[in-house]
Amino acid sequence: MTIWLAVIAGTVLGYVLASGDFCFHSTWRRLVSEPIDPSPARAYVVFLIVATPLVQLLDRTGVIDPYVPPFTPAAAIVGGLIFGGGMVVAQTCVSGMVYKLGTGMVGMVVAIAGWAVGDIITWQGPLQGLRSSLTENVISTTGDDGSSEAATVVSSLGFIGVVVLVALGAGAGWWIHRRPPTTVRPGGVIVNNRWALGAATAAAVVLGWLLVAWHGGDYSFGTSGVPNQIYNAVTGDEGGSMWIPLSLVSLVPGAVVAAATRQKWWLRGESGARYAQLGVGGMIMGVGAAIAGGCNLGHSMVGVPLLSVGSIVTTVAIIAGVFAAARAADRLG
């Protein structure tokens, strides 16, 4: 049952991401590239507007009992910046390289291999000490029963945090309505409607929460530590729950279906230089995600709707990393 639930969750999310070509590198890079295209960022804002209250409702009513990513400031900032830079080098994100493999992009195999190497060397290789030192200082809050809890916007700021969230949501809704709703992206699988894409992605993530709760798990999607977990399982060490690895791999068949049904499935390779970019960028992302304890999927799409301060800070650092690396690339280019 666990296998099928994880496969369903990942397949649905892969279908949605591939249908909208929803890659977090493009989401933030298009805000600083010419011509500026804010539509992918608006889709992410719609995702947050829809997903956050639903996830909070599931949490408050006890339908899910989620693990909330901890707030380790140094790891969140350093790891997020590294991860953002890696996205610019690879020109994709981790979830992007997985679903793009499902659309026929063979080069993503190189990116995934690089990401796996970066993840493993940071969890148990030469960069293990760096990750450990950056994750030592955990900032938490005190629960009603006196226990230590992971820092969230509400637990840290209380009623003020709720007011801030409502104000941000209202401002985000106004920003979304400033432009026409559709943007045609050449080479994309479909024409993107920011409301449809954001809402569909939110529905897929909420479905993932419901299915993982049915399975008895406490986190729906992620990538950090997955290669390390698989490596441990293969070498005979304890691998832990395979839910997240299975759901991540299942993005591929979902993307295959999305591309095939729209006659956009196309098997193609890359140039030598592009393979190098994918391998190096993938490894940088693996290092960054391992340090930050998550990536664009585990933090930006799962942790932020939980209102995890750690996930929010990591996401901001990822965006800053993309902006900085994009500016540097433009100047060098």
**Residue 244 near residue 226, CB atoms below 8 Å:** yes
Average pLDDT over residues 68-79: 96
Of residues 40, 49, 2, the one with CA closest to residue 205: 49
Instruction: Determine the pLDDT at residue 191.
Output: 38
Task: Enter the pTM of the model.
Answer: 0.92
3-class DSSP assignment, residue 139: strand
Q: What is the pLDDT of residues 166-175, one digit of tens each?
A: 777 777 676 6
> Is the pLDDT at 273 greater than 60, yes or no?
yes
Band (1; pLDDT cuts 50, 70, 90): low
The overall average pLDDT reported for the chain is 89
Instruction: Determine the pLDDT at residue 143.
Output: 66
Of residues 45, 129, 119, 40, the one with CA closest to residue 86: 119
Q: What is the pLDDT of residues 8-21, one digit of tens each?
A: 999 999 999 999 99
Task: Give the number of other Cβ atoms within 10 Å of residue 327's Cβ.
Answer: 12
**Residue 95 near residue 297, CB atoms below 8 Å:** yes
Instruction: Determine the pLDDT at residue 97.
Output: 97
Instruction: Determine the pLDDT at residue 16.
Output: 96
Burial category of 198 from C-beta neighbours within 10 Å (exposed 0-12, middle 13-18, buried 19 and up): buried
Instruction: Determine the pLDDT at residue 177.
Output: 64
Instruction: Determine the pLDDT at residue 232.
Output: 87
% of the chain residues with pLDDT over 90 = 71
Round to whole Å and give the CA distance between 308 and 301. Answer: 11
Average pLDDT over residues 318-324: 96
φ/ψ (deg, to 5) at 142: -100, 125
Round to whole Å and give the CA distance between 58 and 129. Answer: 37
Round to whole Å and give the CA distance between 262 and 15. Answer: 11
Instruction: Determine the pLDDT at residue 333.
Output: 64
3-class DSSP assignment, residue 271: coil
More confident residue, 47 or 215: 47
Q: What is the pLDDT of residues 212-228, one digit of tens each?
A: 999 889 999 999 999 99
Band (147; pLDDT cuts 50, 70, 90): confident
Instruction: Determine the pLDDT at residue 148.
Output: 79
**Residue 87 near residue 322, CB atoms below 8 Å:** yes
Band (57; pLDDT cuts 50, 70, 90): very high
**Residue 108 near residue 100, CB atoms below 8 Å:** yes
Average pLDDT over residues 28-52: 89
Token pair, residue 31, equals 């805000």
More confident residue, 278 or 191: 278
Average pLDDT over residues 97-122: 97
How many helices, marked H, and strands, marked E, lie in the chain? 15, 4
Average pLDDT over residues 137-151: 80
**Residue 201 near residue 47, CB atoms below 8 Å:** yes
* Torsion sign across C-alpha atoms 42, 266, 87, 227: positive
**Residue 66 near residue 258, CB atoms below 8 Å:** no
Of the ranges 106-120, 164-178, 220-234, which one carries the lowest mean pLDDT score? Answer: 164-178
